[in-house]
Amino acid sequence: MAVLLEQVVNGLTLGSLYGLVALGLALLLGVVRFANFAHGEFLMLSAYVLVGLRAGLGLPYGVAAPLAVLAMGVVGFLFARTIGTTLLARSWRFQLVGTLAVTVLLESGIILAFGALPHSVPVALATRTVTLGGITISWHRVVVFLAVAVAFLGLRLLLTRAPIGKAMRALAQNREAAVDLGIDVRRIATVTFVLAGALAGVGGVLFAPLYTVTPTMGAPVTFKALAAVVMAGAESTGAVFAAALLLGVAEALAGGFGLAAYQEAMGFVVMVLVLLLRPQGLAGRAMRV
């Protein structure tokens, strides 16, 4: 039983990190109609910014991590104002190829800068553990859950309470009407890219101490986040996040119970099963792109 619970906790950790990337992807798809196949690379980039800040400036994790998240917000801004602007006018198929080019650029750029070998980010909290309900988890995992919860609730609050969040939802629901009401699409698009970049940044800095940091860690995360968004089937943050958690748990259970070799494909098996039963996705409404 404890083994099962431990695997579920592992899965929820992994799923919540997928969730941060999936939320950014869903926001970009829903609000600005942008299919970003490089989104997992932002998680990778954030982990390397963290590695660089610690190794280069000797900053402690508690300082370097928020700085890396901030840096990813800036990356989101720059991405929005350069490549994003040009690709926004294209169909999602060209966005797919354009963002794949960004993926190739970022991966090979990081290899040239940091080498292809994995880096680890040791933090003190990852070695200290706490026993809760019969299972032992590291304090860093507790930090991960708390930080993800804060990020998720913060995003929900922003989308439901803040004027900018309401404008984003208005754009997602009815683009033409929102434009007629004077919503500045360009500004909202930039804000969405910054938010999505920062969310992936949070994922990256939380991910780094748990697993190793490699130049190719981004693409699998992109795949799973895309699967979660498709599985959720709607631009509801709750559904996207729940789908990501489900994927993470399915993967961890497969890994823990003799199907480790199929772990990578597991998320897609779950997605295909969900879509066979509910082609419109978990949340009901068919996805629009």
Partner 1 sequence: MRLSRVALGVALLAAALGAARLAPSTYAANALVTLALYVVLALAFDLMAGHIGAVSLAAPAFYAIGAYTAGILATRYEAGLLVTLPAAVALAALVAVAAGWPLFRLSDLAFAIGSLGLGLIAAALANNLIDLTGGPMCTTGVAPARVALGPLVLSTATPRAAYVLAVLLVAVALLTYLALTTYRAGRTIAMIQGDEQLAAALGVNPLRHKLTLFAASGALTAAAGVFYAHYTTVVCPADFSPFLTINLLVMVFVGGPGTLGGVLLGAALFVGVSEPLRGWAHLGNLLFGAILLAAVLAFPRGVWGWVTGLAGRVRSAA
Binding region for partner 1 (CB under 8 A): 29, 35, 83, 86-87, 89-90, 92-94, 96-98, 100-105, 107-109, 111-112, 116, 219, 223, 226-227, 230, 233, 261-262, 264-265, 267-269, 271-272, 275-276, 279, 281, 286-289
**In 3D, which of 33, 83, 78 has the Cα closest to residue 185?**
33
Question: Least CB distance from residue 237 to partner 1, whole Å?
Answer: 18
**In 3D, which of 149, 116, 143, 117 has the Cα closest to residue 209?**
143
Q: 157 or 273: whose CB is closer to partner 1? A: 273
Q: What is 193-229 written as a DSSP string?
A: HHHHHHHHHHHHHHHTTTS-B-TTSHHHHHHHHHHHH
Question: Least CB distance from residue 276 to partner 1, whole Å?
Answer: 5
Return the sign of the alpha-carbon dihedral for residues 113, 199, 12, 100.
negative
Question: Least CB distance from residue 97 to partner 1, whole Å?
Answer: 4
Q: 91 or 174: whose CB is closer to partner 1? A: 91
Question: Least CB distance from residue 84 to partner 1, whole Å?
Answer: 11
Q: 198 or 271: whose CB is closer to partner 1? A: 271
- 84 to each of 98, 102, 174, 217, how far by Cα in Å? 10, 11, 21, 23
203 and 81 Cβ atoms separated by less than 8 Å:
no
Q: 8 or 265: whose CB is closer to partner 1? A: 265
Place of tokens 């993926």: 103
Question: Least CB distance from residue 192 to partner 1, whole Å?
Answer: 17
Question: Least CB distance from residue 124 to partner 1, whole Å?
Answer: 34
Neighbour tally for 216: CB within 10 Å: 14
Question: Least CB distance from residue 273 to partner 1, whole Å?
Answer: 10
Neighbour tally for 157: CB within 10 Å: 11
Q: 64 or 110: whose CB is closer to partner 1? A: 110
252 and 10 Cβ atoms separated by less than 8 Å:
yes
Q: 187 or 288: whose CB is closer to partner 1? A: 288
Q: 209 or 267: whose CB is closer to partner 1? A: 267
213 and 120 Cβ atoms separated by less than 8 Å:
yes
Q: 5 or 269: whose CB is closer to partner 1? A: 269
Sequence-ordered alpha helix ranges (H) in the chain: 2-32, 39-57, 61-79, 85-88, 92-114, 124-127, 139-161, 163-173, 175-180, 185-207, 218-232, 237-256, 263-277
Question: Least CB distance from residue 266 to partner 1, whole Å?
Answer: 9
